[in-house]
Amino acid sequence: MRLFHNLYNKALSWSASKFAIYWLSIISFLESSILPYPIQDIILASMSLKNKNKAYYYAFICTISSVLGGIAGYLIGYYAYDILLPFMQEMDYMDMLERARVWFDSYGIWVIAIAGFSPVPYKIFTITAGVMSMHLIPFIAMSMLSRGARYFLVSFLVKRYGDSCDKWLQKYIDRLGYALIIVVIIGIWYAQ
């Protein structure tokens, strides 16, 4: 069964849609404030693969949308933390939130740089920055720097190696997808 192969090709076809840039913007915004998984990288990569001449434009749109979403996450933490606390407890975000708080105390603004570039849930850090009343201008500047570096790197890699990566993914995407499912199942089993 070629489930992941079909999904990958579907993502590539969606990236050619006239609405793709809007989906990229919306998902990038929501990932920085409320979405649990960073899927904007996949959309950015497939859009950049489909239209390499606009790869850096897509990275720019993704960066701006993500930083605006980060500001929304900051405002959620600053103004609505008490209201959202029960939801965050239900989604098991409290341990991550407390860990983020400790990291903010230890490393300050550099936590935003690390969280913005790495695949950790960025929204945890944007909300925590608001809860801790971090200064907004340095928060925005570090978010622009780290998110921009991440998305421009994705676009650069796709622009540079896209065709060979696409051929490799076409060949191995199903094996990778099923391996990921196995890893997730083992992780859930191990956590219990």
d(CA 158, CA 143): 22
For 121, list phi and psi in degrees, rounded to 5. Answer: -65, 100
Q: What is the pLDDT of residue 127?
A: 87
d(CA 147, CA 117): 6
Q: Let me know: does 30 contact 16? Beta carbons within 8 Å.
A: no
Q: What is the pLDDT of residue 117?
A: 84
pLDDT digits (tens, 9 = 90+) for 123-171: 888 988 998 888 999 999 999 999 999 999 888 888 888 777 667 666 6
pTM of the model: 0.77
CA distances (Å), 39 to each of 94, 95, 116, in order?
A: 22, 23, 14
d(CA 170, CA 33): 32
Q: What is the pLDDT of residue 98?
A: 80
pLDDT digits (tens, 9 = 90+) for 73-96: 999 989 987 887 787 788 777 777
Structure tokens at 150: 């991440």
Q: What is the pLDDT of residue 189?
A: 61
pLDDT digits (tens, 9 = 90+) for 8-34: 667 667 777 888 899 899 989 998 888
Q: What percent of the chain has pLDDT over 90?
A: 26
Closest among 35, 59, 71 to 43, alpha carbons compared: 59
pLDDT digits (tens, 9 = 90+) for 25-77: 998 999 888 876 677 877 888 888 888 899 999 999 999 999 999 999 999 98
